[in-house]
Amino acid sequence: MSADEITALSLTDVAAKIAVKELSAVEVTEASLDRIERHNEALNCIAHADPEDALAQAQKADETLAKDGPVGPLHGVPLAHKDMYYRAGRVSACGSKIRADYVPDITSSALKKLDAAGALEVARLQMVEFATGPTGHNEMAGTPRNPWNTDHITGGSSSGSGSAVAGRMVYGALGSDTGGSIRIPAYCNGLVGMKATYGRVSRYGAMPLSFSLDHVGPLCRTVTDCAVFTQVIAGNDPDDPTTSREPVGDYLSDIEGGVRGLRLGVPKNHFFDDVDDEVREAIQASIEIYQKLGAKIVEVEVPGIKHGFALGEVLGRVEAATYHSTWLRERPEDYGTQTRNRLMQGFYYPGTRYIEALNLRGQLLSGFTDEVFSVADILIAPSVPMAVPTIAETDMSANQGFLDMIARFGSCTRPFNFLGLPALGLPCGFTGNGLPTGYQIVGRSFDEATLFRAARAFERETGCTDNAPAL
């Protein structure tokens, strides 16, 4: 197989071929590194790659396979991750100047679990500075570019993760999601991205932004890839007291079970209020496919959702400002303008408003669960309400309507960070500009399995993840 044929395989397919020695981890890693070498100049999604170390990992994986067999479901598979996951003894720059030389002495729990599953880490990926923006812009480290059209944004803040996975440089990547930063890059790059339930995946050793809203999760090419990846990193972690003891279950056991009899809720309020026609039409066509596959379509009134958006903003802004307060006082010039402006907003909320947001979270989640999931099993909604814009259109210095655009950009994803519900982003075609479009499906707390099952039924019917950008 050629390098491009190898990198075109899905994560699960390449893992299977490595396990039966049809391909070696070295061959697959060489193909991944070749792709990085040829295309990163155009995409700017790699923060750092060490080919010598990557090949050493691959050689060791092949030796282990020959002696003992595969150590886990990702044995020998090259991955790369958003540059905010700490690995002891290695730089983790967080897309910033301030942490350009930061070397942690701990390794994140998510990376440890991927290591234990046999995965290789071949690069660190670019990201929005300190994970503070939804478009992907980074004036400090450079802005990654969308492999479908390099004039367009990748979405953020997991910008490098979206670009590298869609560009077939690696088979999957960790992102993070505080207001949509997994689901937005999934939308922009034609990928599958899972923000699992709050507490489902450990955040230990991942750069914090907002304690109440941060989620760890993957960006992958297919639904099954995403289910396997999420399965590996999910579960309770003694190092992260916010992780749940709720059993994870098996995301693959019923993934081919289809959607017959499943109740798909379509929101009557908020989510479709300000959506471009071509995005609305693509989602409506997707709803009709679910109906064709046997799902029951029900319209639902979503309670308190605009409050959830506003209160989530309070939590996110205040907690981020608190985390960055010392640097903002002592090194304000070392932040990019957009990042500094966004972080500074958190200092202007009164403490009473922050406490109110915390106290109302459980009440709004309870109301949402009672009203929505009493009549529906999952909810479908836009991920982003517009076609993927260009880098120029979303540049703060060039666009007078920048703040309004940013608020609109994350209007559909942010509420589910506040509520902590699992949400899976999935592609469903292309808009008139040739860029991907998609939607998200949202489930009950800790019911990621139903989301994977529904998404897999749609993927199987439509081939929505079969397309790849031409680089």
Q: To the nearest 10°, report the CA torsion of 279, 428, 147, 117.
A: 140
- CA dihedral (412, 413, 419, 425) positive or negative: positive
User: How far apart, in whole angstroms, are the C-alpha atoms of residue 381 and residue 386?
Assistant: 13
Q: What are phi and psi of 122, to 5 degrees?
A: -105, -10
Catalytic residue flag (residue 157): yes
Which of 157, 158, 176, 411 is catalytic? The answer is: 157
Which of 181, 202, 383, 445 is catalytic? The answer is: 181
Catalytic residue flag (residue 181): yes
User: How far apart, in whole angstroms, are the C-alpha atoms of residue 259 and residue 331?
Assistant: 53
Catalytic residue flag (residue 82): yes
Residue matched to tokens 């991920």: 383
Which of 17, 82, 112, 113 is catalytic? The answer is: 82
Sheet holding 46-49, edge to edge: 46-49, 120-125, 78-82
Strands 263-267, 378-382: pairing is parallel
- As to burial, measured by CB atoms within 10 angstroms (0-12 exposed, 13-18 middle, 19+ buried), residue 101 is exposed
Strands 263-267, 120-125: pairing is unpaired
Q: What are phi and psi of 336, to 5 degrees?
A: -65, 155
Strands 296-300, 423-430: pairing is unpaired
Token readout for 270 is 């908020």
Whether residue 157 is preceded by a cis peptide bond, meaning omega within 30 degrees of 0, is yes
Residues catalogued as catalytic = 82, 157, 181
